[in-house]
Chain A
Amino acid sequence: MTLDTRPRLALAGVKPQARKRTGRFSHRLWRRLSQIGFAAFIAFVIVQHWLAGDTSATTAASAEAFCPFGGLETLYHFVTSSGKFVPHVHMSNLVLAVAVLLTALLARSAFCGWICPLGFLQDLASGASSQLQRRVPAVHRFVRTLKTRAAFLAVLDRPLRFLKYGVLVWAVGGAALFGVMVSRDYDPWAALLTIAEFSLTPGLLVLLVTLGASFFVERPWCRYACPLGAASGLVARLGPVYLKRHAPACHGCAVCNKACPMGLDVAKAATIKSPDCIGCLECVASCPRAGALELKVGLPAVGK
């Protein structure tokens, strides 16, 4: 069914035209380059630290020194003990935590969408799944059947998204109470950063499960369990940047919903200020209608 939306579009001040093809240097390209750059840097640090070894004679930074969440975990200890850190945390972690939260305040959770190498790894796994399904029909049928049979689990999606706030309280509260990173052994990011130590930890298992689950659900760690994303999302709600869907210009095709790696219902919302939004703007890039989805800057906290 095709409706003539021109009068409504004219009232809304939106041109009723299809979106122009995105240029060669679209934000998608820059986002991927940014993700690749940060992932390559972390890989370099892991290899450099592994080659240098860890004795008092060497000062090659451990990749753990570049984990922003370590900064959040040590914050209470740092303030209450006049500048001391919990083990495995340095000043760089604290600075990175501040950088992530400041980015969240001014540019939503863009850290998750543009920078985080763990998010990028999940994107790669999901991309590999899509490619595989496209090329091997049997895999496509298998995934489709699995998704159909597991469709009843969709009711768990919303409640499970609150899990990450529990992880945040446990990890930050535990570090404040006990003076050590209680979540470290279970943290897939920490497992990845210390992968050169070849130690089998629960965190490594969580990492493998996360990457495996990414073949069926996009960004499972970010959706349900990432404590840094939880903190970033909460701060992002106070920021001035938000997504606006112009209902008159929108076809209701829901292509944006399919493009959203966090599974947000963009197609029905008037404004998108969800703490789960990672600022990847895949919804904007995928939208076939010019002006239907726009990134806006409004009043802080209110966002309109």
Chain B
Amino acid sequence: MSLKPTIFGFLALAIFLGTIATAQTAGLWSTSGKVTTSGEKVAPTGASVEEIKGWMTLGDIAKAYNVSVAEIAQTFALPAEQATPDKPLKELESETFSVTNLRQWLAERQAQAP
């Protein structure tokens, strides 16, 4: 059976876009780690340090992991004027601070807690 080039193109686009539309209809579509596939906002829960992302703020982390912003700032030598609760972690990255370092520190802290 022969296929016309234009039909072939539209078929390819239909398969590609159809798959996306099907996933969206089934609730399997999310373009951000900040919202779930059902559209609810994601916030750190303190359950696992793996959940910590660069877009989360110092305030989010402090609340979820029961630690003060000042303690985080002191541990990682963050400048006081930058270490504010509304500051996303990725904007604080330096030689002494990264999301990975913060995860490690919080994991050790959780392990030491009674």
Chain A: residues with CB nearer than 8 A to chain B? Answer: 25-27, 30-31, 34, 54-56, 58-62, 65-66, 84-85, 87, 90-92, 95-96, 98-100, 102-103, 106-108, 110-111, 114-115, 241, 279, 281, 284-285, 294-297
**Which of B3, B16, B28 is in CB contact (< 8 Å) with A100?**
B16
Flag if B37 contacts A91 (CB, 8 Å): yes
Contacting pair A98 B19 (CB below 8 A)? yes
The verdict on B90 contacting chain A, using a C-beta distance below 8 Å, is yes
**B5/A107 in contact, CB under 8 A:** no
Contact B30 A92 (CB under 8 A): yes
Residues of A within 8 A of B3 (CB): 241, 295-297
Bound Cα distance from A61 to B20, whole angstroms: 16
Instruction: Decide yes or no whether B67 CB sits under 8 A from chain A.
Output: no
The reply to whether A59 and B35 contact each other, CB–CB distance below 8 Å, is yes
Q: B33 to chain A: closest CB distance in Å?
A: 6
14 A-B pairs (CB sep. < 8 Å): A25-B6, A27-B4, A30-B6, A56-B57, A65-B31, A66-B31, A85-B33, A95-B20, A95-B29, A96-B20, A99-B20, A100-B16, A110-B9, A241-B3
Question: Chain A residues near B11 (CB, 8 Å)?
Answer: 106-107
Q: Does B34 contact A (CB under 8 A)?
A: yes
B2 to chain A, nearest CB (A): 5
* B16–A281 CB distance below 8 A: no
**Interface 1/0 per residue, B7-44 and A, CB below 8 Å:** 01111110111011001000011111111010001010
Q: Complex: how many Å from CA A84 to CA B29?
A: 14
Q: Are A27 and B29 in contact, CB atoms less than 8 angstroms apart?
A: no
CA distance A284 to B7 in the complex (A): 13
- Compute how far the CA of A17 lies from the CA of B3 in the bound complex, rounded to whole angstroms: 20
CB neighbours (8 Å) of B29 from chain A are: 91-92, 95
A55:B19 contact, CB within 8 angstroms: no
Tell which of B10, B20, B53, B54 touches A30, judged by Cβ atoms closer than 8 Å: B10
With A92-B29, A297-B1 in contact, is A110–B8 under 8 Å at CB?
yes
Q: How far is the CB of B20 from chain A (nearest CB, A)?
A: 6
Query: With contacts A61-B32, A92-B31 known, is A27 near B5, CB below 8 A?
Result: yes
Whether B20 and A241, one on each chain, are in contact in the complex, defined by CB atoms closer than 8 angstroms, is no
Asked if A295 and B9 sit within 8 Å, CB to CB, the answer is no
CB distance from A201 to the nearest CB of B (A): 15
Asked if A114 meets B2 with Cβ closer than 8 Å, knowing A56-B57, A91-B30, A107-B8, the reply is no
Chain A residues closer than 8 Å to B16, beta-carbon distance: 99-100, 102-103, 110-111, 115
CB–CB A281/B19 < 8 A: no
Interface string of B38-58 (1 = CB under 8 A from A): 000101000000100111110
Q: Which of A55, A60, A65 contacts B57 (CB 8 A)?
A: A55
Of all A-B residue pairs in the complex, the 7 with the closest CB atoms, nearest first, are: A110-B12, A61-B31, A27-B5, A99-B19, A107-B12, A65-B31, A95-B23
Whether the Cβ atoms of A279 and B12 lie closer than 8 Å is yes
Q: Which of A90, A96, A294, A296 has the most CB of B within 10 A?
A: A90
Distance of A110 Cα from B35 Cα, bound (Å): 32
The distance in angstroms between the C-alpha atoms of A95 and B17, with both chains bound, is: 10
Interface centre among B6, B9, B41, B88 (most CB of A within 10 A): B9
Name which of B12, B23, B32, B41 has the most chain A CB atoms within 10 A of its CB: B12
- Which residues from B are CB-within-8-Å of A60? 32
Cβ of B4: which chain A residues have Cβ within 8 Å of it? 27, 295
Pick from A55, A61, A295: contact of B5, CB below 8 A. A295
Q: How far is the CB of A296 from chain B (nearest CB, A)?
A: 6
Q: Chain B residues near A96 (CB, 8 Å)?
A: 20
A34→B30 contact, CB < 8 A = no
Per the bound structure, the CA–CA distance linking A13 and B55 in Å amounts to 64
